[in-house]
Structure 1
Amino acid sequence: MGYPNDILTSRAVVKPGKYMILPPEGLVNNVVPGFENVSMSILSSPKTGAKFVDYVGTFHKDGKNKQGFGGQDDVETFIYVLGGKLKAWADEEEFTLEQGGYLYCPPSVTMYLENLRDGDSRFFLYKQKYTPLEGHTPWVYAGNSNENEEVIYDDMENVHIQDLLPTDIAFDMNFHILTFDPAASHPFVETHYQQHGAYLLSGEGMYNLDNEWIPVKKDDYIFMGTYCLQAAYAVGREKLSYVYSKDCNRDASL
């Protein structure tokens, strides 16, 4: 990257346990065992108050993870392809994941990945300890957001949502894509128990986090902690869209 061209500044905001905004220009590469010829950054983690770990990264030419990701008895994983083309294996099934493609692996199922392009393939990656529910077991699930139905969000025709995973109670989390037309917004400022890790796919917006309005844009990452106030307005000429995780289908533990 070389010498800076100006005074060192950053749009990043880090308030552990509450929220974070991490712009791409401030991220550093982390070595994660098993990933070969892959540049990736650890985003949220338990050290920031998250109960999950998020990553963003790039598979370069011949990039792969043949060692496997996840596979522990209590850890579930998910990958979303931001751009490019990946091959994935899970539980003896093989998947081709292009832009918008995704794969969920339940506990004890290992995810294997390989870049299918001569160029780069970008990804958003997640892992979390699974909260079991007696009599219910989640399963390997793959899809592509470009083929999923968009549903009107909370009776507002200028906001749409996609569920990426089944709404079956066996799943203790889901991934969604929320998309705002220009000038659209949430219907109210939310305050809830669930946490989010969100990666912005397009557009620009103003995001209310803990009652602070902060500008965000494409390729920013946002962590929202438990009970953090949150809402967004889309600004500019493009749709504001982001993919995000949300825990669900479980009671709060004592």
Structure 2
Amino acid sequence: MHSPASLASTITAFIVKLRHFELSIPARGVWLTARLAHSPAARGLIVVLQTAMNPLIRQRENLITGVLQRAGYATFALDLLTDAEEQRDPDARYNIARLTERTLSAIEWLRFQPGTMMLPVGVLASDTASTAGIRAATRDPGHINALCLFGGRPDLAGAAPLKALRVPTCFIVGKEDPRAPILREAFDLIPAIRAWRATDGAEPEHLPASYLTANAKLAAEWLLTHLPVRPAPEEIPATEEPPPVTVAVPPPS
């Protein structure tokens, strides 16, 4: 178990050289966009789920994945909706069944990639992607080792999936988030190892960069104590080349 001091030093000092990939991966008949940052020295892989792709979301993603990468994790940021779906249907992010299936497809795809197949997997999600994360972890607990939610709508997962959740789960919720009481009701249904972290601010979608970075550090600290780790970087030869990543390319339209 890490002490708070050692956690803080780990997050600032565990620097690994990452290779970055822009990917398109197949998922239930569509191609989803993803961004992988990987190193053979990574502690584990954090899958960051999101349902929107505007420039503000990209900035938030970069802040969050940057903190996780400095903690020694590879990151896989996945857009659960295509551009066309997001533009055509503003309610597409509430199609929880579809988001869940796509999350499971991505987890399965990662299991067969040489660079990620052996890494323990954590999922970090917000908004309605948090619902997909819960349902996916309930259905595939053998390949999702920890779940961290930035507010979001875990209540939409339903009582049965929440009660069936068996992976360690952390809720990071703003003290001023108007949804906090509903989130607490969902949290209380979870029988697994769980943690509630109350932070400054409101919904994560509207947090300034400094608050969002602080929340990401909380997530990284929690993941360090609940996600199985790979061997330390010094145990991996410095000359080792990163394993190849299979890049799926969508067929011509």
Question: Under a length normalisation based on structure 1, what TM-score does the superposition of the two structures give?
Answer: 0.30
CA radius of gyration, larger in: 1
* Higher strand proportion: 1
* Higher helix proportion: 2
